[in-house]
Amino acid sequence: MHIDITTREKRLDSIVSYAPVGIVQFDPAGTIIEMNTKAHGLLQSLGCPATCPREHAFELLKTVAPAVMEKLTGALFSEGLIFKNEVHIIEYGKETGQGDRCWQISASWIDPQCIVLAFDDITDQHQQQQAMLSAISEKAIEQGKSELAADILHDIGNAVVGLGAHIGRIKRGLEDTKDNLLAGLADFLNAQQSQIATGIGEAKAAAATTMARSLADSQQELHTGIRESINGQLAILSHIQAILNIQRQYVAGKETGERLQVNLRGVIMDSLSMLAATVTKRGIVVHSKLTEESTLLRGDRTRLMQVIMNLMKNGIEAIDLAAEEKTISVSLERTATTLELEIADSGCGFDEDTAGKLFGRGFTTKSTGTGLGLTNCREIIESHNGTITLTSDGPGKGAATRIKFIL
């Protein structure tokens, strides 16, 4: 089918006019020849109609994309591509309160008198890509930390086992010691005191008997104290091993997808045990009120501990070391259909503006934070059929995190 030149040109004009990317044609001096609908819209979104030139491409680019202008002004004619799909940050959006925009730009010579600039706003895609890369990076860092922590826990575990073995040998050696030898000697001397007195005198015989009894009593008291100390040390080592096992589960942090019965009260108590040294060192008083009713729910114990540990650490770090009041309160209640956990602190608190951003990925109030902690907490809680809220009466008035699980 034959199509005349006029019809073909009209069709090409229509295609260019309504293309899904912005297209601007201009001459080597920078004078704009034509601009399609998408280009008008993109420039208008930056606030350009009122604040920047629309007739001269180089002046326009000098305002919104100086790096592109430099490339074009230095480009000699060579029919074809100048550059393709380069990503440039457009700063002009700050004038409209949008912040920086990200554009993908290509430029080509059409003929010696025409340059075509094609561009599109890819800000959303760019931000999503950066967020994904950031998440991958954070995951890699956390994985590295987890592997290092796992190695450290393994070494500590080996040391604890070795120490336990040595203390066990001391205990067995003490049990083999015959505590009654001195006591038997004291009894013998007491029974034979009159006969002994005839040989060495009554005073010396009485003194020997008294000394033997005193030595027997001292030995018995010493051995009793050592046994109590050994039993106490073994109990401490057993507690350390239990904490190490919990830490290993926490560090592993691998969700199997399997949901088992979890005692939430036990998870909270284990978390408090793991943080006991930190709390004591900082002089923080912990108040806990945990229901005695059943606190079982179906879930992933390691993930739930990850949430509770994170929230408790946030509370600890929010409390100034020089503060007069340093408290953390943990309460767990059960209703007919829910388990409700609250973790409150007397820390620095936050304002309403901050409250609206706390669960946003990447937002953090800590100088060394990643902004992923609370986001991950919410994802874990929601995956357990729960909800999480974080409130504060204002800066300096502490904060409270409330979690509700539907049973």
Whether residue 358 sits in one domain with residue 299: yes
For the chain, counts of helices (H) and of strands (E): 14, 12
Please tell me whether residues 190 and 87 are part of one structural domain.
no
pLDDT of amino acid 242? 66
**What was the pLDDT predicted at 391?**
94
Quickly tell me which residue has 């998440």 as its tokens: 135
Tell me what pLDDT residue 284 has.
Answer: 96
* 46 inside domain: yes
In a domain, 206, yes or no: yes
Task: Report the pLDDT value the prediction gives residue 348, as an integer from 0 to 100.
Answer: 93
Whether 274 is covered by a domain: the verdict is: yes
Residues 6+ apart with CB under 8 A from 137: none
CATH of the domain at 32: 3.30.450.20
Q: What is the rounded CA–CA span in Å between residue 37 and residue 162?
A: 77
On whether residue 126 sits in a domain, the answer given is no
Shared domain for 278 and 214, answered yes or no, is no
Please give the structure tokens belonging to residue 124.
Answer: 């959303």
End-to-end C-alpha distance for the chain, whole angstroms:
71
Q: Is 24 contained in some domain?
A: yes
Are 110 and 218 within one domain? no
Which 3 state secondary structure label does DSSP give 111?
strand
Contacts of 214 (CB under 8 A, 6+ apart): none
Rounded distance between C-alpha atoms, residue 230 and residue 255, angstroms: 39
Model pLDDT, residue 283:
94
Say if residue 92 is in the same domain as residue 151.
no
Same-domain check for residues 391 and 266: yes
pLDDT at 19: 86
Tell whether 44 is covered by a domain: yes
Residue 133 lies in a domain: no
Q: Of 185, 217, 252, which closes a domain?
A: 252
Note the pLDDT of residue 110. Answer: 86
**Residue whose tokens read 């826990």:** 153
Do residue 267 and residue 248 come from a single domain? no
Tell me the C-alpha distance between 255 and 235, whole Å.
31
Structure tokens at 383: 């995956």
The pLDDT assigned to 42 comes to 84
- Check residue 1 and give its pLDDT: 42
Residues 69 and 159 in one domain: no
Say what the pTM is: 0.47
Nearest to 115 by CA among 40, 63, 56, 42: 56
Number of domain units in the chain: 3
Task: Going residue by residue through the chain, which has 407 residues, state the pLDDT in tens, using 9 for 90 and above.
Answer: 444 557 777 777 777 788 889 998 888 888 888 888 888 888 877 765 444 555 778 877 877 788 888 888 766 666 688 888 998 888 665 555 556 788 899 999 888 888 898 999 888 888 888 888 777 777 777 767 767 777 777 777 777 777 878 788 878 877 766 667 777 887 888 888 888 878 888 888 888 888 888 888 888 888 888 888 888 777 767 767 766 776 676 666 555 556 889 999 999 998 898 888 889 999 999 999 999 999 999 998 878 988 998 899 999 999 999 999 999 999 999 999 999 999 999 999 999 888 888 887 766 666 554 445 788 899 999 999 999 999 999 999 999 999 999 99
What's the token pair of residue 137? 């990076």
The domain spanning residue 327 has which CATH number?
3.30.565.10
Residue 375: give the domain boundaries: 260-406
DSSP annotation of 201 reads: -
Are 19 and 99 part of one and the same domain? yes
Are 265 and 399 found together in one domain?
yes
Q: Which of 193, 224, 252 is the last residue of a domain?
A: 252
> Do 197 and 287 have their domain in common?
no
Statement to judge: residues 268 and 245 lie in one domain: no
Q: Residue 127 falls within a domain, yes or no? A: no
